[in-house]
């Protein structure tokens, strides 16, 4: 239902804009003109793109849980898109689209977006009630899974029953504790941790439940499908058991590199255009060097220098973990982070091949040394180019400790396991949503 809501939002947006444009061309314009053969046909879809990107960036239709929130998001998206197309017309000095189309669509999409948000919300509630999970695992794994399900799952589910492996084990033909627990809890999914998978009586009960329509998953597969990560307990065992796109699929690697360059070039243009504003801001509230340079570890453990606009006071920010609302950040630096302008110089790293648009977060060499000693297979994340954004960044709040690094590694291994253009596009989309919705650190 949520996928249907997204599709309806995008198709409906296109339908509204195209219908208004055709109506204007045939009934309002003097003289009437052939809409499909005019330059306005292409610009109609540019406006559709502005509307869809604004809606997605603000969280529609998925994140609007109340109708008031949906109305606010919908109105903000329509205003943002109308302003964007208006600025484009002003810069180009041409009436790309009639005001009837621009403002008419801005009004009509609001109720449509609210309706799509309501449809998505109804689908989410039904999905949350459908996936009821019975877990056979130790207490530590159960606590970790319960916490993860409460954060930001890819597919919402409820952990309804937890059995220790010894409690799920059958000791007689008529003794079926796992099957009875699953039936009693009306479970739709049974999840088996590693110890449970090695017990024949537990697997036999799970097989019988599977025949009745209950889905059965290993703990690793459940994390992969429902949570978008690999569980900590499985990292070492699973680390070598999947292909990595940049290593094993040459075509993907080349397409990914082409995408990096295609994004880096306009990024450099934006950076050059913003430099006047940055220099003036530095003089007013961020005295010191304009650029920040720092050593990071890249692909194949090769060090490189990352470039950003400086946001901290000179002499700070080179060693300690960065934290939210960091007191070392200057007033103008806070603005640069909130608008993400501080990231623009990384376009240079993209062109050089130090970074990719999507990949694991690039860390400082001394952190890499520490974490490699403490975390099994941590070095595998350096088999691919680090990224400006990544799956861990969009799935997990900003981390400032070794515990957070361990948590992010579980998401990074998921990315390595599923690396491909579809997942990259999904991450870029979520990054846009995060930037529009939350701002910078």
21 near 44, Cβ under 8 Å? Answer: yes
3-class secondary-structure state, position 132: strand
Q: Say whether pLDDT at 127 is over 60.
A: no
pLDDT confidence band for 320 (50 / 70 / 90): low
Strands 132-136 and 189-192 turn out to be parallel
The secondary structure of 251-295 as a DSSP string is: HHHHHHHHHHHHHHHHHHHHHHHHHHHHHHHHHHH--S-SEEEEE
Q: Is 289 left (phi over 0), alpha (psi -120 to 50) or beta?
A: beta
Which tens digits make up the pLDDT trace of 205-244?
A: 999 999 999 999 999 999 999 999 988 777 766 666 788 8
The pLDDT-based confidence of 318 (bands split at 50, 70, 90) is low
> Number of helices (H) and strands (E), helices first, in the chain?
19, 8
pLDDT at residue 128 greater than cutoff 80:
no
pTM: 0.78
Q: Tell me if 433 sits within 8 A of 59, measured CB to CB.
A: yes
Domains by residue range for the chain, with CATH? 2-125 (no CATH), 131-227 (3.40.50), 245-438 (no CATH)
pLDDT digits (tens, 9 = 90+) for 8-21: 999 999 999 999 99
Among residues 301, 267, 307, 266, the alpha carbon closest in space to that of 385 is found at 301
Q: Is 193 helix (H, G, I), strand (E, B) or coil?
A: coil
pLDDT band at 317 (very low <50, low <70, confident <90, very high): low
Look at residue 438 and tell me whether its pLDDT is greater than 70. no
Report phi then psi at 187, rounded to 5: -70, 145
- Predicted confidence (pLDDT) per residue in 276-295, tens digit: 999 999 998 888 899 999 99
Exposure string for 375-398, b = 16+ CB within 10 A, e = fewer: beebebbbebbbbbbbbbbbbbee
Decide if 249 contacts 243 (C-beta within 8 A): yes
DSSP 306: E
């Amino acid at each position: 239902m949520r996928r249907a809501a997204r599709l309806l939002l995008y198709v409906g947006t296109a339908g509204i804009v195209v219908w208004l444009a055709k109506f204007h061309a045939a009934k309002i314009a003097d003289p009437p003109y052939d809409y499909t053969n005019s330059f306005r046909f292409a610009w109609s879809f540019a406006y559709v793109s502005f509307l869809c990107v604004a809606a997605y960036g603000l969280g529609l239709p998925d994140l609007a849980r109340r109708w008031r929130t949906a109305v606010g998001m919908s109105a903000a998206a329509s205003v943002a898109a109308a302003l964007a197309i208006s600025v484009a017309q002003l810069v180009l000095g041409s009436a790309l689209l009639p005001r009837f189309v621009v403002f008419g669509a801005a009004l009509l999409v609001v109720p449509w977006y609210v309706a799509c948000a309501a449809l998505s919300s109804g689908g989410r509630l039904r999905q949350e009630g459908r996936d009821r999970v019975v877990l056979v695992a130790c207490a530590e794994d159960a606590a970790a899974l319960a916490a993860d399900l409460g954060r930001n799952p890819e597919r919402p589910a409820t952990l309804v029953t937890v059995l220790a492996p010894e409690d799920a084990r059958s000791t007689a033909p008529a003794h079926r504790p796992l099957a009875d627990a699953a039936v009693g809890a009306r479970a739709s999914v049974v999840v088996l941790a590693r110890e449970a998978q090695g017990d024949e009586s537990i697997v036999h009960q799970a097989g019988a439940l599977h025949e009745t329509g209950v889905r059965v998953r290993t703990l690793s597969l459940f994390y992969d499908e429902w949570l978008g990560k690999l569980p900590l307990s499985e990292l070492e065992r699973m680390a070598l058991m999947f292909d990595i796109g940049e290593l094993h699929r040459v075509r993907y690697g080349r397409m990914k590199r082409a995408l990096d360059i295609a994004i880096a070039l306009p990024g450099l243009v934006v950076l050059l255009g913003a430099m006047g504003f940055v220099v003036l801001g530095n003089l007013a509230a961020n005295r010191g060097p304009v650029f920040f340079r720092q050593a990071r570890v890249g692909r194949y453990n090769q060090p490189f220098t990352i470039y950003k606009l400086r946001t901290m006071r000179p002499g700070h920010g080179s060693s300690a973990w960065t934290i939210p609302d960091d007191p070392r950040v200057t007033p103008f630096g806070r603005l640069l982070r909130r608008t993400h302008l501080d990231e623009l110089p990384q376009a240079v790293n993209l062109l050089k091949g130090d970074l990719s648009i999507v990949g694991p977060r690039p860390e400082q060499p001394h952190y890499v040394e520490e974490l490699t000693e403490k975390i099994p297979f941590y070095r595998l994340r350096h088999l691919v180019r680090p990224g400006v954004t990544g799956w861990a960044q969009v799935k997990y709040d900003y981390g400032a400790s070794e515990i957070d690094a361990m948590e992010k590694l579980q998401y990074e291994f998921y990315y390595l396991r599923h690396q491909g253009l579809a997942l990259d596009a999904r991450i870029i989309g979520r990054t846009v949503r995060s930037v529009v919705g939350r701002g910078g650190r």
